[in-house]
Chain A
């Protein structure tokens, strides 16, 4: 139950979930449609033959080239990519899921892209999603307590975004 037939089972269970697949990469990954993410994760954890009961890590990669010169040569469109690393503690098997979100919701800067929160599937995702929200600015719908975790509560901006400008001063302390 590896490779192609695993993906076949996944598509049978959650139609339209798998948007793209790449088996040759060092860590083969599947790209999942953002709206189908929660359903896929729930299937992977509960009803899939290999129980993916461990969520290792959630990462947000900000694909955006701030300065126009390099931006021209780049092959991809600016977007935010969420990478979920899962693994099964029983059969020692890992899986990488990726979803692509617009950098800003319907492209007006300031309002964050939204995706369903997987905290209901893995309790461990709670803090990981809070960190992604805090540093990369992704709004997780359905998260029990979405607050900043590493930066102070009243911090503006999302530091890990490529076009992030360090604030000039914060509570009287000089930023730049």
Chain B
């Protein structure tokens, strides 16, 4: 896109790159904001269907699809009040800290084989690191609202998120090990082809690890049955008791943002990301670039696949929320320390041994990964190939190329 801007419009180099960066940032931000709006509406509808009622029907047309807009306007109109005992600065900053934390993880998430904000070589590691930052917003909110209840909610949430990062980290390492690299795009590429190549079906261990990952993801995002932070039955509304109006909606947006983030991560790591169950692109012969529209069609299909899987993940989270009661804080901790972590460790060891004895996957046709990576490095075939030009994204300023290996 940058060349197009430079040659045709004649923008100076740096301006072209800025607009490219601006466009991609705008796209990601609105994807999540739009996603949050859709998920708010979906949550209302799903909750209604589970509870044998209709949910919003009349706001804005047939299925009440304008309901989230109505919510948004209501939240904007609401007064942003602040309790007098509160610590001004921290109270205002908290929602934006947790909002930015859950949004800036989206830079590294690939939506098609090269439609990625910034192709980080340490994609997975970066996302997990940033996921841990969201707890700061909650702690600050809990402390700054100067009320006992929000302090309780903040402490519970902090303890829960920090302790669930351990099993989450372990589950995330398994696909990295299978793909041989932390780069999310490579992980996605390794799962191309039929759905048998997906890492979830790679071997029984990865199958279990996927479910452990999903549980830990639900817990680290604070959705029921682990939603201790805003356990309305005990702590009124947990850490965001004192918030209202726009600030409260930022917390809400952060929650839906990180829910979507965790589902996209699950899709990329275990469910083959943009590769659909049936390799449509290669079957129709698009991927070798014959048809003019091929590159865009392939990316579109890829995006659709990933969105479908991620939305499925989010919908299952909503489904769980409206059926299961809430766990107590010590039960949440025991599931983390006594169940998730040991199982994750065991499965991790299992996958390692599996790699040793059966480099190939369980099902025929999946290529062996780990061994390949090692030889590739030895013969010097760079794993981190120079960033293909077509990548839409913020490339560091002109004149600097991220070069894989300078041999």
Asked whether any CB of A lies within 8 Å of a CB of B in the complex, the reply is no
Interface residues of B (CB under 8 A from A): none
Interface residues of A (CB under 8 A from B): none
